């Protein structure tokens, strides 16, 4: 039975199908909640895992299974993959609501302190004033890239996604991903140098 038929059986309230659903997917969902929390280093949120788990299942079934009905299996998307993404999104939203309770000593994943780079030992430390100019110029160079190139940088450089994982997103071989990175960096360096910034 395909995933869509299976989901339809669950929506129709078939108990046997729900037993199978829990057997197949509850561990996946529970594990992903754990792994999102660990990936974001939100150790304080571990005690909330049971509540996230229950709330997520409730969100799937409430309003006459509205969320579960939104799964259509388009483009070969499997139920397992869909549930994985639903779990990640749900957990992120849940954690975001917890954020006001986060200690001020916790790392802000969005705020990046320039001072961390200017701290001693950083390769960029001595050129504080020129650094701001360099940042502004590099920003202008990045904006000259096309959307796909900019997103490549966002995922790999900013979000730390491995090149090996990027090949599926961009539908190319690993070699092509490496070449794409080299090409983008070369483009940016050329733009950077043309603006008079050297030494990097």
136-155: contacts with other proteins (CB under 8 A): 138-139, 142, 147-148, 150-151, 153-155
Binding flag, residue 194, other proteins (CB under 8 A): no
Tell me: does residue 135 bind other proteins (CB under 8 A). yes
What's 110's DSSP letter? S
What single string gives the DSSP state of each residue in 136-186? HHHHHHHHTS-HHHHHHHIIIIIS---HHHHHHHTT--HHHHHHHHHHHHH
Instruction: Please say whether the beta carbons of 52 and 58 come within 8 A.
Output: no
Residues in the chain, how many?
200
Among 41, 106, 114, 173, which residue sits at the site for other proteins (rule: CB under 8 A)?
Answer: 114
Q: Least Å distance between CB 82 and other proteins?
A: 6
CA separation for the pair 69, 62 (Å, rounded): 11
Q: Does 98 bind other proteins (CB under 8 A)?
A: no
C-alpha 37/C-alpha 88 separation (Å) is 10
123 forms part of the interface with other proteins (CB under 8 A): yes
Q: Does 89 bind other proteins (CB under 8 A)?
A: yes
Any contact of residue 84 with other proteins (CB under 8 A)?
yes
Q: In whole angstroms, what is the distance from residue 180 CA to residue 3 CA?
A: 36
Nearest approach in angstroms of CB 74 to other proteins is 6
Report how far apart the first and last C-alpha atoms of the chain are (Å, whole number). Answer: 57
Taking residues 168 to 187 in sequence order and writing x for each that binds other proteins by CB under 8 A, - otherwise, the string is: xxxx-------------x--
Is position 125 an interface residue for other proteins (rule: CB under 8 A)? no
| From candidates 24, 41, 43, 50, binder to other proteins by CB under 8 A | 50
**# chain residues binding other proteins, by CB under 8 A:** 83
| Segment 18 to 47, residues that bind other proteins, using CB under 8 A | 18, 22, 26-27, 30-32, 34-36, 38-40
Residue 193: CB atoms within 10 Å: 13
C-beta of residue 69 within 8 angstroms of C-beta of residue 11: yes
Q: How far is the CB of 103 from other proteins (least distance, A)?
A: 20
């Amino acid at each position: 039975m395909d995933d869509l038929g299976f989901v339809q059986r669950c929506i129709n309230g078939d108990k046997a199908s729900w037993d199978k659903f829990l057997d197949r997917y509850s561990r996946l969902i529970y594990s992903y909640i754990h792994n999102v929390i660990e990936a974001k280093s939100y150790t304080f949120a571990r005690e909330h895992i049971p509540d996230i788990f229950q709330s997520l299942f409730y969100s799937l079934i409430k309003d006459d299974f509205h969320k579960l009905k939104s799964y259509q299996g388009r483009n070969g998307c499997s139920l397992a993959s869909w549930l994985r993404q639903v779990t990640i999104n749900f957990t992120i939203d849940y954690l975001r609501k917890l954020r006001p309770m986060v200690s001020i000593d916790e790392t802000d994943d969005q705020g990046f302190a320039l001072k961390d780079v200017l701290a001693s030992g950083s390769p960029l430390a001595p050129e504080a004033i020129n650094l701001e100019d360099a940042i502004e110029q590099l920003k202008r160079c990045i904006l000259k890239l096309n959307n796909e190139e900019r997103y490549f940088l966002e995922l790999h450089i900013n979000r730390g996604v491995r090149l090996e994982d990027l090949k599926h997103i961009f539908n190319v071989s690993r070699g092509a991903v490496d070449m794409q990175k080299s090409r983008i960096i070369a483009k940016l360096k050329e733009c950077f140098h043309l603006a008079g910034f050297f030494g990097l």
